[in-house]
Structures are given as C-alpha cells and as structure tokens.
Amino acid sequence: MDFTLTSEQEAFRASVRAWLQANMPKEWDRRVMAHSDVPRPDAYEFLRQWQRKLYEAGFIGLTWPTDAGGRGLTFMEEMIAQQEMALAKAPPVLNILGVGMAGPTIIAYGTEEQKRRYPPKILSCEEIWCQGYSEPNAGSDLASLQTRAVRDGDGFIVNGQKVWTSLAHIADYMMLLARTDPDVPRHKGITYFLLDMKTPGVTVKPLRQITGDAEFNEVFFDNVRIPDSQVLGGVNNGWAVGLTTLMYERLALGFGLQVRLRIAIDNLIELARRMEKEGRQVTQDPVMRQKIAQLWIDTESLRLTGARAVTKLLRGELPGAEASTGKLVWVETHQKIQELAMELEGPYAQLAHGSERAIESGVWQYTFLRSRANSIEGGTTEIQKNIIAERVLGLPKG
Ligand SMILES: Cc1cc2nc3c(=O)[nH]c(=O)nc-3n(C[C@H](O)[C@H](O)[C@H](O)COP(=O)(O)OP(=O)(O)OC[C@H]3O[C@@H](n4cnc5c(N)ncnc54)[C@H](O)[C@@H]3O)c2cc1C
C-alpha cells in the first residue's frame, strides 16, 4: 500500500483531528471506560449522543452514498478517520451492528424506499439495530435455522426463537433470518427481514454474561406479522443477503476493532509504566518488556494487514486472506493483552470489577472476562480456521 496521502487526504486528516480535539466529551474517562471494546449499559445514553455528534459532523458512514446519509468518500478516508479515533481514544459507536452491517446490506439490496428510509437513522443512532441470526440449534451451522415465516396475504407470520442477540434490549430493528420454504435445500429457503422490534409478539429476555452485564438476549417470536415491504433482497434469497451482512461484519471488525485494540495496547503500556514489581517499574523487567513489545508488534501487523485489505477495496477488489485472518489474529492479540494486564496486576487481579481497592476500578478485570467471548462471537475461532484452511489454503474439507 502507498501510505503517502494526497493533499485532500491530509486536509481530511487535519479536519478529523481538529474536530476530535474540540469535541471529545470531557466526561469520557479514558482510563476507566475507553479501553472497554463493548458499550456498557451505563454508557448507552452517553454513546447515543456521541454517535449523533459524529453524524452531525459527518464523521460516520464515510463510504456510504450521500443520499443514504453518508459522505460518498473512499475506504482511505475511513481508514484515516479510524486512525484518528484510535489516537484520540474516542468512545465506541453504540449502533455498531447497524453501522457495520445492517446499513451496508440495505444499501446493497434495498428497494429505493428502504434505502431512503433506514440508513440515515442508523448513522444518527435514532434507530438501533440487532442481528437475529443465531438460534439454540443454529450457530456455526447457521443454515440449520428453524425460525419459520409463513406467507399470510401481503406479509408473513413468524414463529420461533433467536439467542445471543446483542443489544436486542435496546434495538428498534432486527436483521432477521427466517425459513420461508422448508421443502427446498437448506440454504435456498431462507428470507432476510427487517423486523420492527415493537411489533406485537416479539419478546426480549436478557441473558447475563460472565461480566455480570446482560449485553445479549433471547428473542421469542409468537405470531409476529411482517409486511412484504420489510423483506430485504427478495423472498428465499436470504442466504445471499445474510452472507453479504457477514462480509460487512468482517470489514467492520477489521476497522472498528483495530481501533479498540490500539487503545487497549496503549492503555496496557500506561498501566505497566505505573505498576511496580519487586521494587522496580514493570517496564524495567526484561521479560515483561518482551511480552509488551510483542503485543505492540502484533497490533501494528494487524493494522498493516488491514491497510492491505483497504488497498484491495480501493482497486475495486474484495479482500481475501486479509479479511479471513483479521478476526483470528485480532482475537488472539486482544485476549493476550487482557491476560497480560491480569499478570501485571498480580494479586490485585482477583479484586472484583467496581471494587474500591481494585486498580482503575477493576476495568481490566471486566475487559479480561469480556474478552473470553471474542473467540465465539462473529464466528468461532475454529470456524475461522476452517475458512482459512479451505478457502485460503485450498485444503480439503474436514
Ligand atoms: C458475546 C456474544 C455476542 C453475540 N451476538 C450475537 C448477535 O448479536 N446475533 C447473533 O445472531 N449471534 C450472536 N452471537 C452468537 C454467535 O454468533 C454464536 O455463538 C457462534 O456463531 C457459535 O455458535 P454456537 O454458540 O451455536 O456454537 P456451536 O456452533 O454449537 O459451536 C460449539 C463449539 O463447536 C465448535 N464447532 C462447531 N462447528 C465446527 C466445525 N465445523 N469445525 C470445528 N469446530 C466446530 C465451535 O467452534 C465451538 O467451539 C453472539 C455470541 C457471543 C458470545
């Protein structure tokens, strides 16, 4: 990749930096909140307002077309903006599933009416989205999903259940995959719906995680009626539409999580500078220095691999191996950063999150526990390895 920026791109970088300097919210406590990669319930309202500000300033949805509320810019500007967000330790985007997945999929497959109606409200955070893919018997093997949508006049009646649905408790809409034809091969009888979560018959039940937060949910559908106008990309074409969403998920992971990773490693280095072990600063310990340096190198390699993916996108090609390996390497690096934070804290690592005596209020304990889910969410590590083995290395199917 050519890293030399044009004068327009330099000016764009300067405008993002200046805006961040002037607008970073004072109440955003860098040390306590900034390196948590997932929005926490007590920050929802704050993050809603932050995303609204980003939207009004034109720093979100950079690659989206202007009539969809975006800026019509390239992935180069997106990368520049993300780098500046990382440097400033900016708060995360609350409507991450809408911005990263629902919006781009609607722009790709939506009717003119759908493209006008949904994307701008996704960017402004007026409407939050969740992803209704996984079910009790369909996770890695998504095509075995059983939620049924049966034709009823000019719409469908949906019955079934989703599980692990992040943010469903605050979501206005769901990207819903449901089976519309049980008599054809599994991948062919699925339809992608844009479900209004306030429709009668939708019940959301929170599931508590190891962190103590209930960030995801079970969602039940009891005779939920969805009109034809809420089908995205055609009846029984849901597999293709759903895979497009997953492709955008990988892209969003590549961009967004890289920023959170950079913030986490920078915070880890700050933590190491403040901690003492056996009478000397942790950063003086040669073994610890090696471990931290390796994680910094891994973070930097991931950023450069992301830049290679951007080069392909700018050339009009789709990222291949870069996108497949990104999630895997991100997970490993992020989990190692969290584990090293626990090692640095030593016995203090055993104090609960929120405890008065805990270092930085125990935020590292929280993020360490939360990071265990990274190798499951968005496709497990084993499934990522299968994809790399089969599609990148050309090995036979296991
Ligand atoms: C924090 C979090 C948030 C989530 N948010 C959402 C969300 O918003 N929306 C949503 O739809 N889903 C969400 N999920 C669900 C997630 O996508 C699934 O958990 C994931 O796809 C795995 O599916 P499963 O849990 O059914 O496990 P399974 O698919 O049953 O897998 C169980 C184990 O078997 C392994 N395995 C399965 N198949 C193979 C294979 N072919 N080869 C090798 N090993 C295999 C897996 O790697 C795993 O270790 C979330 C999950 C988490 C943890």
Residue owning the nearest CA to atom 37 of ligand 1: 140
Buried/exposed 236-264: b ≥16 CB within 10 Å, e otherwise: bbbbebbebbbbbbbbbbbbbbbbbbbbb
More confident residue, 325 or 13: 13
pLDDT at 139 over 70: yes
**Residue 186 and residue 179: Cα distance in Å, rounded?**
9
CA atoms 94, 79, 243, 373: torsion sign: negative
Say yes or no: CB of residue 129 within 6 Å of ligand 1: no
**Residue 144 and residue 135: Cα distance in Å, rounded?**
9
User: Do residues 256 and 93 touch, judged by C-beta distance below 8 A?
Assistant: yes
Provide mean pLDDT across the span 225-238.
98
pLDDT at 265 over 70: yes
What pLDDT digit, counting tens, does each position of 209-224 carry?
998 889 999 999 999 9
Say yes or no: CB of residue 382 within 6 Å of ligand 1: yes
Q: Which of 39-43, 97-101, 259-263, 332-336 has the lowest mean pLDDT?
A: 39-43
Q: How confident is the model at residue 34 (pLDDT cuts 50, 70, 90)?
A: very low
Say yes or no: CB of residue 247 within 6 Å of ligand 1: no
**Residue 77 and residue 70: Cα distance in Å, rounded?**
12
Chain-wide mean pLDDT for the chain? 90
Calculate how far, in angstroms, residue 164's C-alpha sits from the geometric centre of ligand 1. Answer: 9
What residues contact residue 95 under an 8 Å CB cut-off, 6+ apart? 51, 122, 123, 125, 127, 128, 129
Q: Is the pTM of this model over 0.85?
A: yes
Task: Specify the length of the chain in residues.
Answer: 398
Provide mean pLDDT across the span 225-240.
97
The β-bridge partners of 160 are 221
Q: How confident is the model at residue 30 (pLDDT cuts 50, 70, 90)?
A: low
Positions marked catalytic: 249
Calculate how far, in angstroms, residue 320's C-alpha sits from the geometric centre of ligand 1. Answer: 22
Q: Which of 174-183, 252-261, 363-372, 378-387 has the lowest mean pLDDT?
A: 252-261
Say yes or no: CB of residue 207 within 6 Å of ligand 1: no
Say yes or no: CB of residue 139 within 6 Å of ligand 1: yes
pLDDT at 252 over 70: no
Provide mean pLDDT across the span 225-229.
98
Say yes or no: CB of residue 140 within 6 Å of ligand 1: yes
Q: Which of 129, 134, 257 has the most ligand 1 atoms within 8 A of CB, as the residue to mutate? A: 134
What pLDDT digit, counting tens, does each position of 147-175 carry?
999 999 999 999 999 999 999 999 999 99
What pLDDT digit, counting tens, does each position of 307-359 carry?
887 787 778 777 666 777 888 899 999 999 999 999 999 999 999 877 778 88
Q: For 293, which DSSP code?
A: H
Q: Which of 140, 243, 397 has the most ligand 1 atoms within 8 A of CB, as the residue to mutate? A: 140
pLDDT at 38 over 70: no
CA nearest to 127, candidates 151, 98, 156, 164: 98
